[in-house]
């Protein structure tokens, strides 16, 4: 019997890349590959890259350098670069790292088996097109393996917003929505295999239009799936938060009270320069509307400090917005230039000012996060358990609000849901006691 070939995938970046890596593994599984947890014994190494963070391409080249020894010891080893850096860099990757055998963009990874076959035949394979064929339809059905209790499900890709700091429209392409029927089929399949919570993914997920009633309509349809207990979605744009999706937070019990809604800045001047196409006041009114229908909604956001031409007054406006919203969690970064984006050509804020502002913002956000987490003590929540904890008999899961909750719970297994009373708040998690009955 022929020994299966081994595939090692290293995933960078967001949840969509995690989902994409799963699908890449499935695509290669159809050609006889099985996944391995280490590159040392792999027959193929695949880096699924992200272009959002600072110096993303250089980090990929650095990672590739670590595999030179493996390639020297095993000339049959094939190395590929996938994802957004692959889309942005294309053939430049092979020029700088001749040991790379294939490069594939995020819209073409269903063609991985063909590219791998070319590489095995001694050719260099590059595919960074935006193909017309549906990569999701082209991929083989997920193998019927047991899944954990939570899963990601991509419903939308690409972005038409063209924020001045962002490369996504160039690396992921225009907004495309998957048909609702195909999403429903995939959701049912996941539930049959043990999934109880789905997070719907998209670069601009609430721009989804594959259902006649948009993302709100899709969520309501997914809520009819027996066995699916929880629904979340990320990442959203304020301009696409329509009335029906807001209403879904009130009337759809399976939609969890946690929303990631990036704003990026609190200064209207900076928001305009970012091409966000909304004001700080419009964002705050939107948050107010959402909380009017779901008062316990926990908000999460994204922030960029030190955007070109940002003044101290502009930064103070961001702090004021953060204080007004009171975020349960947030992601914050210093602005970093992305070649080819409009903001890269503008006057830059000194690095020391960026660093100072980021520290001050993160201090405020951490204070808010801890206060909201501490306020959970004494409350009862429903926890979906995902895995065993470090201590004997301990289980770890997530509350409705996405807090990690640790519970001493003999007899509880991954996938179980139970009511828990929160008794203690730690640095990044909560401890609770299982409620009886």
Please report the domains of the chain, with CATH numbers, ordered by start residue.
5-127 (3.40.50.12160), 146-374 (3.80.30.20), 380-434 (2.40.50.140)
Ranges under pLDDT 70 in the chain: 1-2, 51-56, 130-146, 170, 437
Looking at the chain, how many residues does it have?
A: 437
Phi then psi dihedrals of residue 45, to 5 deg: -115, 130
50 is in an annotated binding site: yes
Per-residue pLDDT at 142:
46
**Within 10 Å of residue 95's Cβ, how many Cβ atoms?**
10
The CA distance from 244 to 217, in Å, is: 8
**Within 10 Å of residue 92's Cβ, how many Cβ atoms?**
13
User: 0.75 cut: is pTM over it?
Assistant: yes
Which residues lie closer than 8 Å to 356 by C-beta, 6 or more apart? Answer: none
β-pairing verdict for 102-104 and 44-49: unpaired
159 is in an annotated binding site: yes
Tally of CA atoms within 13 A in the half-sphere of 181 that contains its CB: 1
Strand partners, 156: 177
252 is in an annotated binding site: no
Give the model confidence (pLDDT) of 132-166 as tens digits.
555 556 555 545 556 789 999 999 988 888 888 87
The CA distance from 262 to 240, in Å, is: 12
Per-residue pLDDT at 141:
52
The CA distance from 287 to 241, in Å, is: 10
Strand partners, 255: 231
């Amino acid at each position: 019997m022929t020994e299966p070939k081994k595939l090692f995938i290293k995933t960078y970046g967001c949840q969509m890349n995690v989902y994409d890596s799963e699908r890449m593994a499935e695509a290669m599984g159809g050609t006889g590959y099985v996944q391995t947890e280490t590159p040392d014994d792999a027959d193929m190494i695949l880096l699924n890259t992200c272009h959002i963070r600072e110096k993303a391409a250089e980090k990929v080249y650095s990672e590739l350098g670590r595999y030179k020894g493996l390639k020297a010891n095993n000339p049959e080893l094939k190395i590929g670069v996938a994802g957004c850096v692959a889309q942005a860099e294309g053939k430049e990757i092979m020029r700088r790292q001749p040991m790379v055998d294939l490069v594939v963009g995020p819209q073409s990874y269903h063609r991985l088996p063909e590219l791998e076959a070319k590489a095995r035949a001694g050719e260099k394979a590059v595919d960074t097109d935006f193909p017309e064929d549906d990569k999701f339809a082209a991929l083989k059905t997920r193998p019927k393996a047991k899944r954990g209790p939570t899963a990601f499900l991509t419903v939308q890709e690409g972005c038409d917003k063209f924020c001045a700091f962002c490369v996504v429209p160039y690396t992921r392409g225009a907004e495309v929505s998957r048909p609702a029927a195909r999403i429903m089929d995939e959701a049912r399949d996941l539930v049959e295999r043990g999934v109880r919570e789905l997070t719907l993914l998209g670069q601009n997920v609430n721009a989804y239009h594959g259902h006649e009633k948009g993302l709100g309509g899709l969520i309501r349809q997914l809520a009819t799936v027996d066995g699916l207990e929880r629904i979340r979605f990320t990442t959203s744009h304020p301009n696409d938060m329509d009335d029906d999706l807001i209403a879904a937070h009130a009337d759809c019990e399976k939609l969890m009270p946690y929303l990631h809604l990036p704003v990026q800045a609190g200064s209207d001047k900076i928001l305009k320069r970012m091409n966000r196409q909304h004001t700080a006041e419009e964002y705050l009114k939107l948050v107010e509307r959402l909380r009017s229908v779901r008062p316990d909604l926990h908000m999460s956001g994204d922030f960029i400090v030190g955007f070109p031409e940002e003044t101290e007054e502009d930064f103070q406006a961001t702090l004021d917005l953060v204080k007004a919203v009171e975020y349960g969690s947030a992601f914050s970064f210093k602005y970093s230039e992305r070649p080819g984006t409009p903001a890269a050509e503008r006057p830059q804020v000194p690095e020391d000012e960026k660093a100072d502002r980021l520290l001050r913002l993160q201090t405020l956000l951490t204070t808010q996060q801890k206060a909201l987490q501490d306020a959970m003590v004494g409350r009862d929540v429903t926890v979906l358990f995902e895995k065993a904890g470090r201590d004997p008999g301990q289980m770890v899961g997530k509350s409705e609000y996405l807090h990690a909750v640790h519970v001493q719970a003999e007899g509880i297994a991954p996938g179980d849901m139970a009511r828990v009373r929160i008794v203690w708040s730690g640095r990044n998690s909560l401890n609770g006691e299982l409620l009886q009955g």
